[in-house]
Structure 1
């Protein structure tokens, strides 16, 4: 009987500890996104487009197995992408150039394993599974006197390139997080795009990588 009560007490205590180790909450932040294009995609030299500075917003859930290890899953939205400025020519004393901006409206599902260096400081490694919901490209041809948008049919200045882009962007990442005693936390991570996003059968490759710095709040007992 005593053994049975001891087992029951341990079970209840373990369930209580597990409940205390589950946390969830919102997070928002700043993202710097880049796109890398190889020479087979457009017959140009391999290049990395200029960074696009954007945001992300969503929520997270964390489950700690013990004092040192845990798992985290998130659902975020971010308009990732990149931009590029192509130097033009000087024709008759007038300079002509071209600027292009690509935007991937992406639903991100990061899943990671965490190691807690201290109670408040942790490092993480995992993978970002990004579902590209929308893909737009805006190109502006400009001169010293005037700029012209290359428009689509609705006159928005953006061209829908979703059919040219694959829907899944897998990006392994590493990151670090610091949490205050009240549940407020700050984190930073870098995700390396490894998926070829190009639907071009010529063998070209497009990858999207991004860095994130964010802030959030965890509900749950410490």
Structure 2
């Protein structure tokens, strides 16, 4: 956790050093999350909220580190007459994106993300670190206000077990997958 926070601070410090080419902002929006690999998984609606820096590195190419609180998880159908249940996973996510402006208004972005689990509900043996990859696009309505869409593809397993759990064999990887619709304001 300390390493991730120090990394985020270092990225922000780099942004301050290049202040003439860096803009800071806040963003928030809607998450539509699932846990991939689970056939009975249904979408769970959550939210994300946080801040970002947009650092110009070359012409239309930017690096965009973010620090986000993200509510994720999934809804599950119960087995054999059991009640349906919801898995809630709350993360502090640190995506670092390469962002390219195709036009002044339209951008595309991609990059890795590291997530730290801060709380969970209705799940046992969950991993505290989540690794993912993001693909997205954005549209600037003004120099300050934009909207975006992003799909986060989970790369690491949500559960922390080695093939056997409660006597059952699991051969699937259960990953966080999130479609996010956001609005952002740059200062």
TM-score normalised to structure 1 length: 0.68
Q: What residue number does 1:31 align with? A: 31
Deviation (angstroms), 1:197:
2.3
- Once the 2 structures are TM-superposed, how far is the Cα of residue 97 of structure 1 from its aligned partner? 4.6
Q: CA deviation at 1:180?
A: 2.6
CA distance in 1, matches of 2:114, 2:75: 22
C-alpha distance in structure 2 between counterparts of 1:121 and 1:213, whole Å: 15
Deviates more, 1:191-200 or 1:209-218: 191-200
Alignment partners' CA distance in 1, 2:70 and 2:99: 23
**Larger-gyration structure (1/2):** 1
Q: Which residue of structure 2 lines up, in the alignment, with residue 140 of structure 1?
A: none
1:20 and 1:135 mapped to 2: Cα distance? 40
2:182 paired with 1:207 = no
1:113 matched residue in structure 2: 98
Give the distance between the partners of 2:100 and 2:71, measured in 1 at CA.
29
Quote the residue 2:67 is aligned against. 75
1:56 aligns with 2:17: no
Structure 1: gaps (5+ residues): 1-17, 38-45, 89-95, 138-159
Q: Return 5+ residue gaps in structure 2 as ranges.
A: 1-17, 165-169
Contact 1:52 1:81 in 2 (8 A): yes
Q: Secondary structure of the residue that 1:216 maps to in structure 2? A: strand
Contact map agreement 2:152 2:178 (CA 8 A) in 1? yes
Deviation of the 1:87 alpha carbon:
6.3
Please say if 1:135 is aligned against 2:103.
Answer: no
| Structure 1: distance between partners of 2:25 and 2:69 | 15
Aligned to 2:128: 167
Could you tell me whether the CA contact under 8 Å between 1:174 and 1:190 is conserved in 2?
Answer: yes
Structure 2 distance, partners of 1:125, 1:182, is 21
Query: Tell me, what secondary structure is at the counterpart of 2:19?
Result: helix
Contact 1:122–1:178, Cα closer than 8 Å, also in 2: yes
When the two structures are superposed, what TM-score results if normalisation uses the length of structure 2?
0.80
182 and 115 in structure 1: CA distance in 2 versus 1, 3 angstrom threshold:
closer
RMSD: 1.8
Matched, 1:179 2:140: yes
- Contact 1:190-1:212 at 8 Å conserved across structures: yes
